[in-house]
Amino acid sequence: DDDARRQPAEVGMRLDEAMAVQHALARVPENERVILVLLYVAQRPPFMLLRRLRIPPSLCQVRHLAGLRAFAHEAAALVAARVR
């Protein structure tokens, strides 16, 4: 049950939505973007990559939360710009 929750869900995204996500992610600071990519995009298990990059779990957690906040801010700004 726990493993099923951790598997990525199939997400159908239009091209314009995917480009908006990519644009917002590109504006996230590099250290935080690395963590987001490792956790949400990378094909390998993230713990192996984090270990290889010598990023301890505590730093990963801090950067993960900061990256999510930065991404949410950028995504909201893109949505607001589209509405105008």
Task: Summarize the confidence of residues 73-78 as an average pLDDT.
Answer: 88
* Residue-wise pLDDT tens digits, 8-29: 666 677 888 888 889 999 999 9
The band of 2, judged by pLDDT with boundaries at 50, 70 and 90, is low
pTM listed for this prediction: 0.71
Look at residues 49, 47, 25 and name the one whose alpha carbon lies nearest to residue 36.
25
Task: Summarize the confidence of residues 24-48 as an average pLDDT.
Answer: 89
Distance CA 60, CA 14 (A): 30
Query: In sequence order, which residues have a C-beta less than 8 Å from that of residue 13 and are 6 or more positions away?
Result: 21
- Cα torsion 41, 44, 47, 50: sign: negative
